[in-house]
Structure 1
């Protein structure tokens, strides 16, 4: 059973990419740089190969972290931590996460799916790397960072589905947010992760200003970074809904109903919180075990599957997917862990720390297989129907022929 019904395949040919970018940095600094940078790639390289190269570098960054700091997140600060120069390599992973459409001036449904799929995976990996750089360690702050990061991505995909265009405001995650992370990685590279443990008022010397010191809590800079991220998320929620509201009003559609399609994400967050905060063992038994990073990676893969289906519904003009089968595993984990509260008996599966870790690793394997199946089937359906290549090298003649085939997918 495929992900694209036969009757929905025709929607691929009607798809048009539409985007709005109001960022000054993007329009006057980054876009000229990206336009020059992608010309360094040979024209015969498949567009999606460049996107995949960005994900590959982030995966390499993640592997580098695991190699240098295998105790990552077992306690605050991990073990000895990687050498400071490693944090500079994380910047390369972000730089290479760019869009091939900047070179060709075109964006088709396959490129849209491929780009969003790689970005969805990058989101979780970069979040884990950033939390390590901020020295947040194994904590609820790291979990909260994952929530905020995924929420922004879900919000953007939800907005694109209902407005028909990707909207980047004056301040957006894919532009200013990424630059902030680049700056954070570079500071960590110079001073190390413990730099962010300093109190913000102490570091800025504002603790000597009585009016400020008496009103503003002197929290650590890494914690203040989390509060700033929360403020940005709240601003994005308001902005995204305003864009959806205006688009729906212009089209004559309902303006309240789209809000219902936001509910699956907070529901999944509540399930993960219930799972982590279960009373069957210690209060934070997954957080304090080697299963925490796999737990976050599992959620990231599940999330990638969810938003992948959302963007697939967008490019094929299908109904918004409210339910996803990947939620089943989170429900099982949360219900099993909370059986002492629900029915007054020990968990059936997670009845010990060892079994909890095994269960997390099992569902991680299931998530990998499920998402890989989704990727293969969707790429196969789209390439077969449109008659285009995905990752294969092409001759100049094939490049020109592909341009003819997808010329209808130009930016508007």
Structure 2
């Protein structure tokens, strides 16, 4: 993914404020989440009655996730971060990780029977991601090196791909066995753990 991001961030002027770019990316994530929450307030979008969330919302989610990630990479390119700016960035990132898991939960649905994920699994997934995030930043505080083991790039690409698949084929794609009798949601939960 890095070659793609390196080409994208070279577009446009470099003199934009780092915190403004970071906050703009976070606003994209929030707008996406609030829009998805409006149409899927009870996390049943992929449930028994598909079609509650319009296709354009999934496409919008893919676009806003991509733009938010590109703005984050662009903010890194300015090379003008301060300790306060870094705290601001990591604070927004901690909120964004929660929102990503909640968006994933909306995609997989809690009432999908065999193909959905339970609320318990959602909380465990959220805890895993947030604990990894906290431990990574604690390690950075002690060693000066930030290492994100859960693969921020991979999580973004996966979320964008899920939005695009739902927009193209519909939520019914999650209702079919994927590999050796496992559903796609099972595979994603296994990969997360």
Task: Report if aligned partners of 2:47, 2:110 keep a CA contact under 8 Å in 1.
Answer: yes
Instruction: Please give the TM-score of this superposition, normalised by the length of structure 2.
Output: 0.80
Please, which runs of 5 or more residues in structure 1 have no aligned partner?
Answer: 1-24, 202-206, 208-217, 231-412
Superposed counterparts of 1:7-406, under 5 Å: 25-26=1-2, 28-33=3-8, 35-37=9-11, 39=12, 43=15, 45-73=16-44, 76=47, 80-95=51-66, 96-97=68-69, 98-137=72-111, 139-167=119-147, 172-201=150-179, 218-230=181-193
Q: Go from structure 1 to structure 2 and tell me whether the alpha carbon gap of 1:199 and 1:127 turns closer, same or farther (over 3 Å shift).
A: same
Deviation at 1:78, TM superposition (A): 7.7
- The number of equivalent residue pairs is 184
Q: Return structure 1 stretches of 4+ with deviation > 4 angstroms.
A: 73-80
Task: Report if aligned partners of 2:46, 2:109 keep a CA contact under 8 Å in 1.
Answer: no
Deviation at 1:32, TM superposition (A): 2.8
Q: Go from structure 1 to structure 2 and tell me whether the alpha carbon gap of 1:79 and 1:165 turns closer, same or farther (over 3 Å shift).
A: same
Output the CA distance in 2 between the equivalents of 1:88 and 1:74.
15
Question: Greater share of helix residues, 1 or 2?
Answer: 2
CA RMSD of aligned residues (A): 2.7
Please, which runs of 5 or more residues in structure 2 have no aligned partner?
Answer: 112-117
Deviation at 1:80, TM superposition (A): 4.8
Deviation at 1:74, TM superposition (A): 9.9
What SS does the aligned partner of 2:147 have?
strand
What SS does the aligned partner of 1:70 have?
coil
Give the number of the structure whose alpha-carbon radius of gyration is greater.
1
Task: Report if aligned partners of 2:136, 2:146 keep a CA contact under 8 Å in 1.
Answer: yes
Instruction: Please give the TM-score of this superposition, normalised by the length of structure 1.
Output: 0.40
Q: Go from structure 1 to structure 2 and tell me whether the alpha carbon gap of 1:131 and 1:72 turns closer, same or farther (over 3 Å shift).
A: closer
Per-residue Cα deviation, 1:80-122 (whole angstroms, up to 9, x for no partner): 5311221121223322231454332232212211110111111
